């Protein structure tokens, strides 16, 4: 009986059983039955849990096969969504690259910078970089915005206006290049904000209007000169009239 009941046990288990048999055969039989009952109870619990889960699956999905089909469909849809997302990401990257190429081809300067008075340029196109004496956009990106102004008050006025109205067209300011040369600029700027209304950047188009400014100043000088000559002519005419009356 000892050899028959010990099948499937390890060497240590067999040794213990033999000792127990030698000491108390009845006690050993009770222990073996208890072990078997516990094993049977565990099997019953396992089967019961499995049956309950199968019933839940049937109530929710109709059958285990239907559940498998739903899982497969969900997996397939997830993979398809990931492919679409990747394609959109590639498209956005291409669009962003094309947009930057277009902006770099413009003769007018295009820029983005931090929203406050103190901040740096975060992006510029080639024309903007060359306008301020830099060889490339990369050389200008990261420089302080206030460094381009002859009068820092112009920067403060611009930021205050943008914070209030969000937009300023044809703002004229006196600026300086990297080498210190001063020139006039005109820009149209916009304040970009997030969904909570918090300013996140200033972006705009800027142009060198130094030549135009020179022409305007020359025109103003000529107008004043003409006005002065006209006033002198009026006085001369008045004097002649007075002399004739005499």
In this predicted structure, the answer to whether residue 154 has a pLDDT above a threshold of 70 is: yes
Give dist(CA 124, CA 138) in Å, integer: 8
As a whole number, the mean pLDDT across the chain is: 78
Percent of the chain clearing pLDDT 70 (strictly above) = 61
Taking only the tens place, the pLDDT of each residue in 27-46 is: 555 665 666 666 666 666 66
Strands in the chain per DSSP E: 109-113, 121-124, 167-176, 182-193, 199-208
Residue 1 has pLDDT above 50, yes or no: no
Mean pLDDT lowest among 11-25, 79-93, 142-156 = 11-25
Please give the Cα distance from 162 to 159 (Å, whole number).
Answer: 5
Reported as half-sphere exposure (CB side, CA atoms, 13 A), residue 33 has a value of 6
- pLDDT tens-digit profile of 113-135? 999 898 999 999 999 999 999 99
Structure pTM? 0.54
Q: What is the pLDDT of residues 157-181, one digit of tens each?
A: 999 999 999 999 999 999 999 999 9
pLDDT for the residue numbered 95: 61
Rounded to an integer, the average pLDDT of 68-77 is: 71
What digits encode the pLDDT tens for the residues 204-240? 999 999 998 888 888 888 888 888 888 877 777 777 7
Are 139 and 129 within 8 A, CB to CB?
yes
Averaged pLDDT for residues 190-214: 92
Q: In Å, what is the CA distance from 79 to each residue of 28, 74, 84? A: 59, 9, 9
Average of per-residue pLDDT across 86-92: 66
């Amino acid at each position: 009986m000892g050899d028959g009941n010990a099948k499937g046990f390890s060497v240590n288990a067999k040794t213990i059983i033999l000792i127990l048999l030698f000491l108390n055969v009845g006690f050993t039989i009770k222990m073996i039955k208890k072990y078997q009952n516990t094993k049977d109870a565990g099997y019953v619990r396992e089967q019961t849990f499995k049956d309950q889960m199968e019933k839940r699956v049937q109530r929710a999905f109709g059958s285990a096969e239907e559940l498998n089909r739903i899982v497969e469909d969900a997996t397939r849809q997830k993979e398809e969504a990931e492919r679409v997302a990747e394609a959109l990401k590639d498209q956005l990257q291409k669009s962003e690259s094309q947009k930057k190429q277009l902006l770099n081809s413009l003769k007018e300067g295009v820029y983005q910078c931090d929203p406050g008075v103190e901040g740096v340029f975060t992006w510029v196109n080639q024309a903007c970089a060359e306008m301020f004496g830099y060889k490339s956009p990369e050389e200008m990106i990261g420089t302080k915005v206030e460094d381009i102004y002859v009068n820092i008050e112009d920067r403060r006025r611009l930021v205050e206006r943008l914070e209030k109205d969000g937009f300023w067209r044809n703002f004229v300011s006196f600026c300086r290049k990297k080498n210190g040369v001063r020139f006039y600029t005109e820009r149209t700027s916009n304040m970009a904000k997030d969904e909570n209304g918090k300013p996140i950047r200033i972006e705009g188009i800027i142009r060198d209007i130094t030549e135009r400014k020179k022409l305007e100043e020359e025109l103003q000088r000529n107008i004043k000169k003409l006005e002065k000559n006209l006033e002198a002519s009026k006085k001369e005419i008045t004097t002649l009239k007075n002399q004739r009356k005499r």
